[in-house]
Chains A and B, each alone.
Chain A
Amino acid sequence: MAQDYSGTSLETNWYKAAIKIARFVKVDWNGDGDFVDANEDITNRVLDVRLSSSLLDNLFGLPLMGRIAPATARITLDNRDNFFSPDNASSPIHAHIANGIFQFAIIVDLGYYDDATPETLRQFTGRIDNCREWEDPAGGKRAILLCTDELSIIEEYKHRTVLISDNRVDQIINTYLSVPAAPAISHSQDYAHSTVPYAGMDDESILSECQKVAASDGGWIRATKEGVAVFERMTHWLEGTDHTASNVTLDTGKSWWLQDSLSKENIYTDVIVSWTPRRVSTLRIIWESTEPIELRPGETKTIRAKFDNLVHSSITPVANVDYIAVTVGMREINSDLTITVTGYCKQADVELTNGDANQTMYVLELQLRGYPLLGRETHEVSKTHDAGILIGKKEFLYQQLFYMQTEVQAERVASFLRDFLQRPRRLLGWRGPAVPWLELGDRVHVDHKTATYSPGIDVDGYVVALNQSYAAGEMYEMQLTILPVTNLWAESTYFKMGTSKYKDVDSHALFY
C-alpha cells in the first residue's frame, strides 16, 4: 500500500529538473524505542545507502509463491574517528556497542527538499545484523551496516503453540505473531480465503511458519517500509486503490532505463498442488518415559515430552495406568505424586512433584495418552493450461505444504497458479529518480510509446521488486521490477459482496 505523502510536494518534486536530496538515518543505540537521543542520528556519517526488497520468489523468479525474503539495507558510513568501532573505548556509543553492532533498530528516511524543507518518507525499518569495518590505504575508514527488515525479529525466534483447530489463515498468523514471549512486531492481516483444519508450531521459526500458512492461502507475508508485518491474501491486488489504479506514471521524461524481458522460464502447462487431510485418531499412547524418574523428597522436576505426531489433546495421567510411584523399597506412594501436564501441539511439559517430605520417589512407566493427529493419504489437484501457448508438457509442482489440508485450498491455489503460469510473464525493469511513496505491490503505469517499437509500452503493472540507492554526489535512484497487469487475472472483475449484482448476464465472475 503506497505511503501517504499528503501535505508534501513529493508528487511533483520527485521528477524536478534539479532537486536536493533529503535523508535521515537513525539508530536506536539505547534500545528505548525512539531515535531522538544523542548520537542516534547518524545522517552526517552516511556515505551510501542501498535498499532492496522483493516479492519475487528466489527459486522461481515470480511472485505469489509465499516465500518472500525480508528486505535488506546496506549502509556505508564514515568511520574515520572509529565511532562505530566496538574496541574504541572513546566512542560516544561505546557503552552500547562494546559487544558488537547488531540487533539495534535502524530507520532510513529518504525524499527531497521542497525549497528549504526536507520532505521524507520512511524507506526502511529494520535491525542491524552485522557491521563490517574496513580501512583503505588512502586512510579512509568505513563501517558498513548490513540490515534486514522487521521480519528478521521473528525469523530466528522459535516457538511452540497448542493445536489450533478450524482457524482462518489470518487468524493463525495473528496467533503466531502475537506470541507473548516473542519480540513485539506490529502486524495486520487481510481476511483470508481459507480455513485450515489444524495448525500449530513446534519450536519452529515464527516467520517460516507464517510464510507457509500464508502460502497455503495463495497469499504472502511481508514487512512494510514502516516495519509492519502484513499478510496479503491472494485477491489483495484486486482490492484497494493502490492496486486498482496507478500510483504514478513512469514515462520517458521520468526514466533513464527501461528493460522488457519475456522468457519461457516461468511458463508451465500443468500445475499440481497436493493436499493432505488430517484426522484425529483414537486414544493411544503418545509418549513413554524411557527410564524411571527419581524425585527426592519435596522435589519438582519438569520433563519435556516430545511426540511423534501433532496431538489434538491428551488426558491427565492416571495412577497405575499411566505411571506408578514407588519408594526405594518398591512401596507404592501414588498419592504423594502430583502431575501437571501443559500440552502443546507436538510436545508437553510434564511437571512431577514428590509431596513426601522424607522419602525419595521413583516414577515408573510414565506415559501420556491422547488423541494424535494423523495424516491421511496425500491427494493432488491437477490443472492443465487452456491458453495453449507452451507446446509439450511442463509441470509445476506445489507440494509438501503442511497447511494445505483441504481440497478447496488446493483447488483455489491450483486454479490461480494455472492461470498465472500458463502464460509467459513479461517483467519490466525500470530505473529513474526515486518515487519515495511506492511500496511493493503498488500499481504503476509505464508509458514508453515514443522510443520503442509501435505501439510501445503503455501498461499498468505491479511493483514486484523495489531497490533504491543513494550516495553523496550520486543520483537518488529507484530500480523497479514491474509485473504487467495484462492477463494476470483470468477475469477483469470479480464478484464482490455488497457491490456486484447477481444477474443472468454481465454478473461479475466468482473468484477461484
Chain B
Amino acid sequence: MTTRLYRVGQAAVTIRDPEQPVEKNRLRIQAQRRTLDSSLKQHITAVKWRWQLSWRFLTTAEYNTLITELVREASMTFQPPDTDTTYTVVIASDVEVADNEFDSLDVSVALEEV
C-alpha cells in the first residue's frame, strides 16, 4: 500500500497511509424534479469520489511531509492506499490538526475529485 499526494504536474510525494479503513463516498452531482404528473426526472452531471482521511500518531517528519501538501492552494494528484489509480482532487475541507496524548499529531481532511 502506498499513498501519494502532490501538486498536479509535480514530482510524486509519498505520504503516510491514512487510518484504515479509508472512508470514501461516491458523490452524485445531480438534480431532480417532478413533472406535472408527479413522475420524477433526475439529471446527473457527474459522479465523483470523496475521501474522508485521517492520520493518527504522526511523527514530526511524517506530519511535515503531509501538511506541506495539504496547505497547497492548487489541484492535487491523489493516489489512495488501496489502488494504483490516481485522481485529480482538491482539498475539500478544513485541515484539522490535533495533539494527542502520545505527544504526536493527528490530522484529518477531506479530498474531493475535481
Task: Tell me the complex Cα distance, A258–B36, Å.
Answer: 9
Task: Tell me the complex Cα distance, A448–B36, Å.
Answer: 9
On whether the beta carbons of A256 and B43 are closer than 8 Å, the reply is: no
Task: Tell me the complex Cα distance, A474–B43, Å.
Answer: 7
Q: Decide yes or no whether A461 CB sits under 8 A from chain B.
A: no
Contact with A along B29-53 (1 / 0, CB 8 A): 1111111110111111110000000
Task: Tell me the complex Cα distance, A15–B42, Å.
Answer: 9
Contact with B along A12-32 (1 / 0, CB 8 A): 000111111100000000000
Q: How far is the CB of B112 from chain A (nearest CB, A)?
A: 13
Scan residues 252-268 of chain A and give those whose CB is less than 8 A from a CB of chain B.
252-258
On whether the beta carbons of A475 and B35 are closer than 8 Å, the reply is: no
On whether the beta carbons of B36 and A473 are closer than 8 Å, the reply is: no
Q: How far is the CB of A290 from chain B (nearest CB, A)?
A: 67
Q: Decide yes or no whether A83 CB sits under 8 A from chain B.
A: no
On whether the beta carbons of B35 and A17 are closer than 8 Å, the reply is: no
Q: Decide yes or no whether A387 CB sits under 8 A from chain B.
A: no
Q: Decide yes or no whether A59 CB sits under 8 A from chain B.
A: no
Q: Residue of A at shortest CB range from B74? A: A81
Q: Decide yes or no whether A472 CB sits under 8 A from chain B.
A: yes
The interface centre, meaning the residue of A20, A254, A472 with most chain B CB atoms within 10 A of its CB, is A20
Indicate the size class of the contact surface on chain A.
20 to 34
Task: Tell me the complex Cα distance, A15–B32, Å.
Answer: 12
Q: Residue of A at shortest CB range from B45? A: A472
Q: Residue of A at shortest CB range from B36? A: A252
Given A254-B35, A258-B36, A448-B36, A433 contacting B41 (CB threshold 8 A): yes
Q: How far is the CB of A70 from chain B (nearest CB, A)?
A: 28
Q: Decide yes or no whether A181 CB sits under 8 A from chain B.
A: no
Q: Residue of B at shortest CB range from A434? A: B43
Q: Decide yes or no whether A432 CB sits under 8 A from chain B.
A: yes
Task: Tell me the complex Cα distance, A254–B40, Å.
Answer: 10
Given A252-B35, A253-B35, A256-B35, A473 contacting B40 (CB threshold 8 A): no
On whether the beta carbons of A256 and B36 are closer than 8 Å, the reply is: yes
On whether the beta carbons of B34 and A256 are closer than 8 Å, the reply is: yes
Q: Residue of B at shortest CB range from A476? A: B43
On whether the beta carbons of B46 and A472 are closer than 8 Å, the reply is: yes
Q: Residue of B at shortest CB range from A113? A: B44
Task: Tell me the complex Cα distance, A451–B38, Å.
Answer: 11
Count of chain B residues with a beta carbon within 8 Å of a chain A beta carbon? 17
Q: Residue of B at shortest CB range from A19? A: B43
Q: Residue of B at shortest CB range from A44? A: B114
Q: Residue of A at shortest CB range from B88? A: A44
Task: Tell me the complex Cα distance, A249–B44, Å.
Answer: 23
On whether the beta carbons of A18 and B42 are closer than 8 Å, the reply is: yes
List B contacts of A472 (CB < 8 A).
Answer: 29, 45-46
List A contacts of B35 (CB < 8 A).
Answer: 252-256, 432
List B contacts of A432 (CB < 8 A).
Answer: 35
Task: Tell me the complex Cα distance, A432–B39, Å.
Answer: 12
Task: Tell me the complex Cα distance, A26–B43, Å.
Answer: 22
On whether the beta carbons of A17 and B37 are closer than 8 Å, the reply is: no
Scan residues 64-86 of chain B and give those whose CB is less than 8 A from a CB of chain A.
none
Contact of B31 among A253, A450, A473 (CB under 8 A): A473
List B contacts of A255 (CB < 8 A).
Answer: 35-36
Contact with A along B14-35 (1 / 0, CB 8 A): 0000000000000001111111
Contact with B along A404-437 (1 / 0, CB 8 A): 0000000000000000000000000000110000
Contact with B along A434-465 (1 / 0, CB 8 A): 00000000000000101100000000000000
Task: Tell me the complex Cα distance, A254–B36, Å.
Answer: 8
Task: Tell me the complex Cα distance, A264–B53, Å.
Answer: 64
The interface centre, meaning the residue of A253, A258, A450 with most chain B CB atoms within 10 A of its CB, is A253
List B contacts of A253 (CB < 8 A).
Answer: 35-37, 39
Q: How far is the CB of B70 from chain A (nearest CB, A)?
A: 16
List B contacts of A19 (CB < 8 A).
Answer: 42-44
Task: Tell me the complex Cα distance, A341–B48, Å.
Answer: 70
Task: Tell me the complex Cα distance, A251–B36, Å.
Answer: 9
List A contacts of B46 (CB < 8 A).
Answer: 20, 472
On whether the beta carbons of B37 and A450 are closer than 8 Å, the reply is: yes
Task: Tell me the complex Cα distance, A161–B102, Å.
Answer: 88
The interface centre, meaning the residue of A256, A257, A432, A451 with most chain B CB atoms within 10 A of its CB, is A256
Task: Tell me the complex Cα distance, A253–B31, Å.
Answer: 17
List B contacts of A433 (CB < 8 A).
Answer: 41, 43
Q: Residue of A at shortest CB range from B43? A: A475
On whether the beta carbons of B33 and A20 are closer than 8 Å, the reply is: no
Task: Tell me the complex Cα distance, A410–B18, Å.
Answer: 81
On whether the beta carbons of B43 and A17 are closer than 8 Å, the reply is: no
On whether the beta carbons of B44 and A475 are closer than 8 Å, the reply is: no
On whether the beta carbons of A21 and B39 are closer than 8 Å, the reply is: no
On whether the beta carbons of B31 and A451 are closer than 8 Å, the reply is: no
On whether the beta carbons of B41 and A15 are closer than 8 Å, the reply is: yes
On whether the beta carbons of B33 and A21 are closer than 8 Å, the reply is: no
List A contacts of B32 (CB < 8 A).
Answer: 475
Scan residues 447-501 of chain A and give those whose CB is less than 8 A from a CB of chain B.
448, 450-451, 472-476
Q: Residue of A at shortest CB range from B44? A: A20
**Besides A18-B44, A256-B41, 9 new A-B residue pairs in contact (Cβ under 8 A), listed by A number:** A15-B41, A17-B42, A20-B46, A21-B45, A257-B36, A450-B37, A472-B46, A473-B29, A475-B43
The contact sample of 10 A-B pairs, CB cut-off 8 A, is A19-B44, A21-B43, A251-B37, A252-B35, A253-B37, A253-B39, A256-B35, A474-B31, A474-B43, A475-B43
Q: Which residues of B contact A (CB under 8 A)?
A: 29-37, 39-46
Q: Which residues of A contact B (CB under 8 A)?
A: 15-21, 251-258, 432-433, 448, 450-451, 472-476
